Amino acid sequence: MALWGGRFTQGPAESVAALSRSVDFDWRLAPYDVRVNLAHVAGLEKVGVISPADAITIRAGLEVLAEEIASGDFTFNESDEDVHSAIERGLVAKVGEIGGSIRAGRSRNDLVVTDFKLYLIDHVLEVSGLVTELIHAINIQADNYKDCLAPGFTHLQHAQPITFGHELAKHSHALLRDIDRLGDWLERNSVSPFGAGALSGSGLQPYPEVTAESLGFSDVAGNSIDAVSDRDFVAELLFDLAMIGIHLSRIGEEFTLWNTSEFGWATMSDAFSTGSSIMPQKKNPDIAELARGKSGRLLGNLTGLMTMLKGLPFAYNRDLQEDKEPVFDSIETLMILLPALTGMMETTTFNREKISAGVLAGHSLATEVADYLARRGIPFAQAHEIAGACVRVCEVRGIGLHELSISDLKEIHPRLDAQLMEQLTAEGAVASRSSLMGTSIASVTGQIAELVSENNNAKRWIHSEKERFSGMMNL
**What is the binding site for ligand ARG (CB under 6 A)?**
22, 26, 82, 108-109, 112, 316, 318, 320-321
Q: What does each C-alpha distance from 438 to 156, 250, 429 come to in angstroms?
A: 20, 21, 11
CB of 340 to ligand ARG, least distance (A): 31
Cβ-based nearer residue to ligand ARG, 27 or 469 = 27
Cβ-based nearer residue to ligand ARG, 79 or 470 = 79
Of 15, 71, 155, 261, the catalytic one is 155
CA distance 269 to 259: 11
Contact indicator for 386, 412 with CB cutoff of 8 Å: yes
Mark whether 464 is an active-site residue. Answer: no
CB of 326 to ligand ARG, least distance (A): 13
Cβ-based nearer residue to ligand ARG, 231 or 384 = 231
Contact indicator for 369, 421 with CB cutoff of 8 Å: no
CB of 163 to ligand ARG, least distance (A): 51
CB of 220 to ligand ARG, least distance (A): 20
CB of 318 to ligand ARG, least distance (A): 6
For residue 292, which of 331, 333, 250, 259 has the smallest C-alpha distance? Answer: 250
Cβ-based nearer residue to ligand ARG, 112 or 137 = 112
Q: Which residues pair with 266 in a beta bridge?
A: 350
Cβ-based nearer residue to ligand ARG, 105 or 285 = 105
CB of 270 to ligand ARG, least distance (A): 44
Contact indicator for 36, 109 with CB cutoff of 8 Å: no
CA distance 64 to 74: 10
Q: What does each C-alpha distance from 300 to 153, 242, 326 come to in angstroms?
A: 30, 9, 8
Cβ-based nearer residue to ligand ARG, 39 or 320 = 320
User: What is the secondary structure of 42-103 as a DSSP string?
Assistant: HHHHHTTSS-HHHHHHHHHHHHHHHHHHHHTSS---TT-SSHHHHHHHHHHHHH-GGGGGGG
Mark whether 71 is an active-site residue. Answer: no
For residue 45, which of 207, 247, 264 has the smallest C-alpha distance? Answer: 207
> For residue 52, how many other CB atoms are within 10 A of its CB?
8
Of 276, 405, 453, 470, the catalytic one is 276
Catalytic positions: 155, 276
